[in-house]
Amino acid sequence: MNENTMLKAALAYAAMGWHIFPCRPGTKVPMTTNGVKNATTDEATIRDWWTRCPTANIAVACGPASGIYVVDVDVDEARGINGWDSIEEFPPFPDTVRQDTPRGGAHFFFRSDTPPRNRNSFRPGIDIRSDGYYVMLPPSLHPNGKPYKWTEGFAPGETGLAEFPDFMRPPGGREPLPWERKQAKAATPAPRPAPLAPIEINDVVSRARAYLLECDPAVQGQAGHDKLLWAARVLVVGFELDTGTAINMLWDDYNPRCIPPWDRSDTTQCRDFERKVHEAARTPSEKPRGWLLDKYGLRSSDQQLAQGTQLQASLLATASTVAPEPAPPDGDDADGGNDNAPAATKPPAHDRTVSVPPKWAELKARIVGGDVLLTTAIPQSDPMLAGVFDLGDKVALLAPSKTRKSFFLIQLCLCLATGRDFLGFKVLYRRHVLFVNLELKDTHFQRRLVRMAGGLGITASDLPEFHVLNARGLGMKYDEMPGFVQWLNLQIEFATFDPLYKLADGDENSARDMKPVLAAFDQIAAMTGAAVAYSHHDAKGSPGDRDIRDRGAGSNVIGRDYDAAITLTPHGKEEGALVVGFLCRNYKSPDPLSVRFDDESCIFRPASDLPPVCAASKQPREQQSGDKWREYIEDAVELALSGAWLKSEFQARLRKRFDLPGTQIDKLYRAARDDERVHTDKGPNKGTSPRHLIGNENAVKARIRELNNQGS
């Protein structure tokens, strides 16, 4: 298909007054942020859309804006649905604009001064499309690869729009949303008693499955994702099912009713389908957790006990009463009890109960048997930066000062927010991003952002998912952030804090002080489902001398906390270049790569011509050849044999003799120390008390005294 074909068709539809917008090529998925709400007749906007993606599908907004209302006749052989059979129930349609759809159905376009209501499944295989919905237009391609076509003789210009037939209008008022539907009730329902025994999980699943069958199926291009999200929320929030069970039920009981069903064998579709469960679990809901468990009396006695305990604790706190001291454990009274104590001070036996903290029931509910883990589908992860970290992970950017950490983080966030690849790593789709700037003045941050967006070809219309909080000087601390981010209700998927030390409230060298700071990031991830990233500076010295696990100043708990670390290290061969390193918990760590910083655009770009060699304290960290290394060892052994050495003195001599980084000096020391010609407990010198010896200070000094006494 000629790339100009789509643009010409889109402009022609807009000239007719039809509001259009682009969908991804060969799909019904909107490319704009707000989907059908972005539909327009503006020529400049349309040219911009199809210049960026010449093969994008064309969608038209139904309703008053375009002045069109559509009767959608669908054919789905796999599900035994044929809308043409249902059409036979009605009088013949008047001649009107019509297109043939790629699955054998049709779209009938009408006008009306009295808009009809939207209705899915008005009859089997027939949907009514009005305000807020959209349909595809020729020459767009269906996901099955076939094109939409105007029916011969019924294209726009060949015939006019007929008045919407009254016999196709859904009766009554607005169609109730799923959560507004009232359940059928018995004439005089008896109150449901509280269960005295734990409810079997099968009872909950059975009730959830029955409720799921009442939820509207998702129809692609017609708010289908919202309906899938509601179905997921019913399971994980309403019935409080675990994500694995919810995902399986949606695939087995909900997906087959969707139009079209998601393809589980397609990795992208599978990820898109299952991420709705995680989104439902982490985003706020107007309904309280477990509302359907309460409605159907399905809470277990443990859960009810936890709720009662929580309520009791609240009431006791309100009344400011003092709880009596607990009775001693059984048996203590027999030997050591105070038999003369007043009776009133001894609580009766039935008061000796174990207080159940509310969290215990929550923890118990999360225990899963091994048989369940082996027989249920593994929940799909949601990669954010493919091969590096996922949604919900914690990410640390570790680098020395003045290596442009903030630029690096801003570039990463811009790529995530716009769905652009980052330094060669795939970003599968747009993400909602929050950048919390704690260090830069507002002016400087904005200047950087503008230049970097220009360097990446990003415009304002690309960034509705990118949110910035300039919080320098506001004194925000780590314990405020979890509640604050959740309260924002921005559906954040990636939250970045730059830098870490601005949130800390204590000594960064103290594990006790740093643990609660890192725990706050855990809370943000748990409460919102987002990945959380922070930047942190390196300790003094050459970062190229250290392993990634030892990077980052302060307590070593930082090096054990993250799911993925990204490091920036000055390059050993080219001034100004950097080496980007990776250490991942959940993926095989990618190979390091070299990057250059473009001062004009303020963008990091891969430097494939530059081997990733880190600068070290003495020289670039390059592994010596085998022959050269053996030569170094022989020289070190010769030095060791020349006298008795303290470890520190011996290493100092090695540093003077060899121009090597600290890690290789340490290896050289160990090689010489353990050589059988040097070690007094090995080789031909065993037991002869030679003067050469390398060891710790006390041992060597004692040995030197012994040798000196022997000499005297």
- From CA 120, how far away is CA 70, in angstroms rounded? 12
pLDDT for 354: 53
Whether 700 contacts 693, CB under 8 Å:
yes
- Domain coordinates in residue numbering, the chain: 3-168, 201-295, 391-606, 626-711
pLDDT for 496: 96
Q: Summarize the confidence of residues 31-37 as an average pLDDT.
A: 81
pLDDT for 704: 61
Give the CB-side neighbour count of residue 179, counting CA atoms within 13 A: 17
Q: Which of 467, 469, 476, 455 is nearest to 494 (CA)?
A: 467
Instruction: Report residue 26 as tokens.
Output: 């060969």
In 559-602, the DSSP E strands lie at 564-570, 578-584, 593-598
Q: Tell me: the pLDDT tens digits for 691-710? A: 445 555 566 566 666 655 65
Q: Summarize the confidence of residues 646-669 as an average pLDDT.
A: 80
Query: What phi, psi does 428 have (nearest 5°)?
Result: -75, -35
Whether 193 contacts 141, CB under 8 Å:
no
Q: Summarize the confidence of residues 294-307 as an average pLDDT.
A: 62
Rounded-to-10 torsion of CA 399, 400, 404, 409:
20
- All residues at 6 or more sequence positions from 276 whose CB lies less than 8 Å from its CB, including other chains: 225, 228, 229, 232, 250
Q: Scanning the structure block, which residue is given the tokens 């959740």?
A: 486
Q: Which residues pair with 275 in a beta bridge?
A: none
**DSSP labels for 95-139?**
S--EEE-TTS-EEEEEE-SSPPPPEEEEETTEEEE-TT-EEEETT
- All residues at 6 or more sequence positions from 15 whose CB lies less than 8 Å from its CB, including other chains: 41
* pLDDT tops 60 at residue 551: yes
Q: Report the mean per-residue pLDDT for the chain.
A: 79
Instruction: Report residue 247 as tokens.
Output: 């995902």
Q: Is the pTM of this model over 0.85?
A: no
Q: Scanning the structure block, which residue is given the tokens 């995902």?
A: 247
**Three-state DSSP class for residue 632:** helix
- From CA 288, how far away is CA 290, in angstroms rounded? 6
Burial group, residue 339, by CB count within 10 angstroms (0-12, 13-18, 19+): exposed
Secondary structure of the chain: what % helix, strand, coil (to 5)? 40, 15, 45
pLDDT for 67: 94
Instruction: Report residue 58 as tokens.
Output: 């064309």
Architecture of 391-606 per CATH? 3-Layer(aba) Sandwich (3.40)
Instruction: Report residue 288 as tokens.
Output: 């309280």
pLDDT for 214: 79
Q: Tell me: the pLDDT tens digits for 511-540? A: 888 888 999 998 898 888 899 999 998 887
Whether 644 contacts 692, CB under 8 Å:
yes
Q: Tell me: the pLDDT tens digits for 347-399? A: 444 444 456 676 677 677 678 788 777 876 677 678 899 999 998 999 999 99
Q: Tell me: the pLDDT tens digits for 676-694? A: 777 654 444 444 334 445 5
**DSSP labels for 137-174?**
ETTPBPTTSPBPEEPTT-SBTTB-PEEPPGGGSPPSSP
* pLDDT tops 80 at residue 176: no
Whether 504 contacts 478, CB under 8 Å:
yes
- From CA 92, how far away is CA 99, in angstroms rounded? 17
- From CA 103, how far away is CA 306, in angstroms rounded? 53
Q: Scanning the structure block, which residue is given the tokens 């987002």?
A: 530
Rounded-to-10 torsion of CA 275, 277, 279, 280:
160
Positive or negative, the Cα torsion across 263, 268, 273, 277?
positive
Whether 241 contacts 205, CB under 8 Å:
yes
pLDDT for 299: 66
